[in-house]
A and B are shown apart, each in its own frame.
Chain A
Amino acid sequence: MLDFPRWRVWMLNTLIIFGVLFAIPSLLPAQMRDQLAQFVPTPTINLGLDLAGGSHILLEADTSQLAETRLEALEDGVRTAMRRADPQIAIADVSRADGQLSFTVSDVSKVDAAREALIPLTSNATGSRDWNIGVNDGNWLIVTPEGTGNEAALDQAMDTAKDVIDRRINALGTLEPTIIRQGDNRIVVQVPGLDDPAALKALIGKTAKLEFKLVDEMADPDQTAQGKARVGSQVLPYPDNPSGLPYIAVRRLGGISGDKLEKADPTFDSQTNQPAVTIQFDSEGGQKFARMTQQNVNKLFAIILDGQVISAPQIREPIFGGVSQISGSFTTESANALSISLRSGALPVDLKIVEERSVGPDLGADSIRRGVLAAVIGTTAILVLMFLVYGRFGMYANFALVINIAMILGVMALVNATLTLPGIAGFVLTIGAAVDANVLINERIREELKRGRRIVQAIEVGYKEASRAIFDANSTNVIAAVLLFFFGSGPIRGFAVVLMIGIVTSVFTAVTITRMWVSRWVKRTRPHELTI
């Protein structure tokens, strides 16, 4: 039991040295750490937002809206496919409801041709089917989503959304955001050091879907005011409408979308001197834009952002260069935000902010200072008490405790764990658990001595008998920590991580390391008396 082969001593010492080495970078001031990083890798513990200050934003995608968008795209595809079929297939009663698309083929004899034309639209790149085609009453075609089509689309949309958000935040400058997907339809954005996230939210909360559609100039203003539109038109909100009516009717078809942009920059309107945004289409978008403006000179077209009309200017002449200006009631900031959003592309799905937390840097710094102070005072008190109660063996426990603290920091730095406020508390508690292991061992040795065992035997039995309770107690703590990690969220997880690391290192230092020291002392001095 007290026999320690040389190789084991070496192994344990190596482990201790590595653990302690990895802790060093986290304890150095940032400046020194940066200098050191030029020569050796310096893994460092991340500070959670509650300590470092910063913003945490949880975004959630509107899944129903995504399904709707997919259906819309399908409808467009179907209409085009039928028009382009040779010969053309006439369809009617197109409707999107309950997540499915249905239409009737006017000429019953063409139903098979229509089905044939649908096939390329309903299967995806991998060859499996995204949509099912059913025929009812001879000529009524119903297209329903099949299998994992919607989930796959959501997955893809979320990946794209993550990239878009990344691009948008990077445009803000030197922030170091962490953007991760959470669950099926959520994205977490964490930006350390940013305590006023207003600008950030303005940037990532906007879908930035830009569309150009012709204004329905034949619409009856009274009908529009009631939200009713003619067939082929739709009513959209238009808050800045010069006519005073906050709505406007636009034609559904024949517009173009603004997702094919090469550039978008904030600027000032040369006539009104108001902030505005200039956009530059790519060549394909530019051609479409030219065609649209050419065919509709003197008509009004609406510039639509996220389903809301920003302005509805008149097309005075065809625009060939693919450059256009969007003016509305912008401020310099909002023009800037819009151009960043347009540049980084539209979000493929609407995202809502469902949780937001921001911590000012002063509060975080105060928390660290007081948390560390409490940890230092607490630990010192334990060290003194341990020495007073167990003497030499208390000192062994104390050295082990200090190594334990360093090792927890080292392992946390190595796995790039995040230290949160509850994490500090978890730290303090791990120290308590480590001490408990030594208390159990030392009390047991005391007992065995009292029962009249010889010193070496008492120590051996003490370690052996105490180990059982230490093992059981720590196993239950591991169970609790693992459950904490899987069921918990945010700060609780930070706590669980510290607890898990701490349990492992504290058993290692409090049991194995002290035993190594004790056995060395016993071998060297062959004590006849033991005060414990």
Chain B
Amino acid sequence: MKLLKLVPDDTNIDFLKWRTWAFGISLLLMVASVGLVATKGLNFGVDFIGGQMIRATFTESTSAPVTELRETVAKLGYGDPTIQRFGAENQVSIRMKLPDGADKNPELANTMATKITETLKAGHPDVRIDGVDSVSGKVSEELFSTGMRALLAAMAGVSIYIWFRFEWQFGVGAIWSLLHDVTLTFGLFALTGWEFDLNIIAALLTIIGYSLNDTVVVYDRIRENLMKFRKMEMASLLNLSVNETLSRTVMTSVSISLPLIILVLFGPDVIFGFSAAMAFGIVVGTYSSIYQAAPILIWLKVGSHSFVPTDDAGSKAERIDDNFGAKP
């Protein structure tokens, strides 16, 4: 049987040739992402800004009467609703700010939800209420801060692990490429206006996990080659390592992307943002292992001297000396 080869044998692409360009473009995209988040902002769901979200499906209609809904809900006097289609054309989410004083008296939030659902039911007999989420300001602040803390802790935690398993330069490379992936994903959400909720934090954390998975595989090969080819120039060594692991990178990215793409296309609408974020993250994460995590090692002056066998403390001390003396 002839087996399928996603990457031909003896592929040798000079990836690192474009490292300065790639780095520049990435930097630009990161700045643009931060800018977008700062100016346009993220479309936070009720998880993070508090408020009420009612999801409804108009079972007998082909599309939901968004404009009309906006007017009728606004007439109830609770302020203007944010109405979005999610998933199918006949599904909407209606987001409201919680009424003043609802923190003290949850009854007010209750009444608002009841009034809105009753109005919907009165105007549209085919409406089906799929869910009501009501999150108070205090809880949403907590959810936001714990979510952000989880992100930072995960990034710091895995980078420290890399630092211990490899060398500090690898730790820096890892955290930089994670920062890169997370920033660009934030940018994507600011650009598209997709709802940013708790699930997206879960997606970001998974992206961190996978981007790192990729980085670790490349780093592992770099370490191996550093010990094997002591004299090789760093850029060629990185190229060799990336090329050697290329068929694995392609195969794994394709395998992981397959279920994600299917989740985006056919998966539950509720996790569209989640799946889309992860699919994006896999692509960006794979790119960043090659074009961010690897070249940083050149700039941080990693060489084979970094991996002279470390049997005892004495040789470690020598190695530090080496670091100063060596000219790559």
For residue A379, CB closer than 8 A to chain B, the reply is: yes
Known contacts A363-B55, A432-B259, A488-B147: A371-B267 contact under CB 8 Å? yes
For residue B315, CB closer than 8 A to chain A, the reply is: no
Q: Out of A359, A425, A487, which one reaches B131, CB within 8 Å?
A: A359
Q: Are B268 and A484 in contact (CB under 8 A)?
A: no
Q: Are B256 and A429 in contact (CB under 8 A)?
A: yes
Give the complex CA separation of A479 and B174 in angstroms. 14
Which of chain A's residues have a CB closer than 8 A to the CB of B138?
60, 354
Kindly report which residue of chain B lies nearest to residue A201, judged by CB atoms.
B110
Could you say which of A208-216, A272-280, A388-396, A409-417 contacts chain B?
A388-396
Known contacts A58-B139, A363-B55: A357-B213 contact under CB 8 Å? no
Q: Are A432 and B252 in contact (CB under 8 A)?
A: yes
For residue B247, CB closer than 8 A to chain A, the reply is: yes
Q: Are B206 and A429 in contact (CB under 8 A)?
A: yes
For residue B263, CB closer than 8 A to chain A, the reply is: yes
Kindly report which residue of chain B lies nearest to residue A363, judged by CB atoms.
B130
For residue A421, CB closer than 8 A to chain B, the reply is: yes
For residue A443, CB closer than 8 A to chain B, the reply is: yes
Which of chain B's residues have a CB closer than 8 A to the CB of A353?
106, 109-110, 134, 136
Q: Out of A373, A389, A422, A486, which one reaches B271, CB within 8 Å?
A: A422
Interface size on B, residues (CB 8 A): 77
Q: Which residues 436-476 of A have a CB within 8 angstroms of B?
A: 436, 439-440, 443, 446-447, 450, 465, 468-469, 472-473, 475-476
Which of chain B's residues have a CB closer than 8 A to the CB of A356?
109, 132-135
For residue B80, CB closer than 8 A to chain A, the reply is: no
Q: Are B205 and A480 in contact (CB under 8 A)?
A: yes
- Main SS of chain A's interface residues? helix
Contact-size category for A: 35 or more
For residue B6, CB closer than 8 A to chain A, the reply is: yes
Kindly report which residue of chain B lies nearest to residue A59, judged by CB atoms.
B106
Q: Are B268 and A370 in contact (CB under 8 A)?
A: yes
Q: Which residues 334-386 of A have a CB within 8 angstroms of B?
A: 352-360, 362-363, 366-367, 370-371, 373-375, 377-379, 381-382, 385-386
Which A-B residue pairs are the 5 nearest by beta carbons?
Answer: A378-B259, A487-B150, A432-B256, A367-B268, A363-B130
Residue numbers of A with Cβ under 8 A of B are 50, 58, 60, 195, 198, 201, 205, 352-360, 362-363, 366-367, 370-371, 373-375, 377-379, 381-382, 385-386, 388-391, 421-422, 424-426, 428-429, 431-433, 435-436, 439-440, 443, 446-447, 450, 465, 468-469, 472-473, 475-477, 479-481, 483-484, 486-492, 495, 499, 531-532
Residue numbers of B with Cβ under 8 A of A are 1, 3-6, 9, 55, 57, 103-104, 106-107, 109-110, 114, 128-136, 138-139, 143, 146-147, 149-150, 153-154, 157-158, 161-162, 165, 198-199, 201-203, 205-206, 208-210, 212-213, 216-217, 220-221, 224, 244-245, 247-248, 251-252, 254-256, 258-260, 262-263, 266-268, 270-271, 274-275, 278
